[in-house]
């Protein structure tokens, strides 16, 4: 077990900078990564993202804030391939075919919205657009 996974006992997402907790959240989905970006922008110092579940959207956002390492119990196949594309270090326990939506009826809408996207700003824009659409339902 990776040393940072214990941080997930009380949080859903923790961001490490210079070996110290820079940010933590108990929010679900990609909200913690969006919150970090809105509060701090892109970090000049490389980050480590520790998250309960990493889908493709979360990897795009992690890359956008300058994460070079991901620690997670669960990562989707698409997310892992994208992290490798970005040359990020990834520590995980399990790879799943895809991240399921909250109703467990199919793929997570955030992950689905960024399939095929590798540009972080395109991904960010698609994720925020998808979240706006979901909040209007």
pLDDT of residue 105: 94
Q: How far apart are CA 106 and CA 122, in angstroms?
A: 23
- Contact at 8 Å (CB) between 4 and 16? yes
How open is the CA angle 64-10-83, to the nearest 5 degrees? Answer: 25
Question: For every one of its 137 residues, what pLDDT tens digit does the chain have, with 9 covering 90 and above?
Answer: 789 999 999 999 999 999 999 999 999 999 999 999 999 999 999 999 999 999 999 999 999 999 999 999 999 999 999 999 999 999 999 999 999 998 999 999 999 999 999 999 999 999 999 999 998 87
Question: In degrees rounded to 5, what are phi and psi of residue 125?
Answer: -60, -40
Tokens of 31: 């909200």
Cα–Cα nearest to 64, from 2, 130, 114, 8: 114
Residue 128, both tokens: 């925020």
Can you give the pLDDT at residue 136? Answer: 85
Q: How many structural domains does the chain have?
A: 1
Instruction: Say what the pLDDT of residue 1 is.
Output: 76
User: Which residues form the domain of 81?
Assistant: 3-135
**CATH number, domain with residue 74:** 3.40.140.30
């Amino acid at each position: 077990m990776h040393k940072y996974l214990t941080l997930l006992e009380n949080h859903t997402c923790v961001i490490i900078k210079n070996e110290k907790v820079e940010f933590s959240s108990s929010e679900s989905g990609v909200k913690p990564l969006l919150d970090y970006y809105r509060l701090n922008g892109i970090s000049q110092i490389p980050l480590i993202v520790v998250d309960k579940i990493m889908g493709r959207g979360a990897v795009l956002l992690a890359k956008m804030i300058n994460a070079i390492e991901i620690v997670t119990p669960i990562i989707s196949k698409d997310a892992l391939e994208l992290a490798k594309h970005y040359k990020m270090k990834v520590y995980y326990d399990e790879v799943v075919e895809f991240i399921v939506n909250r109703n467990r009826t199919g793929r997570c809408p955030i992950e689905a919205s960024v399939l095929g996207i590798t540009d972080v700003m395109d991904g960010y824009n698609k994720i925020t657009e998808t979240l706006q659409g979901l909040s209007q339902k």
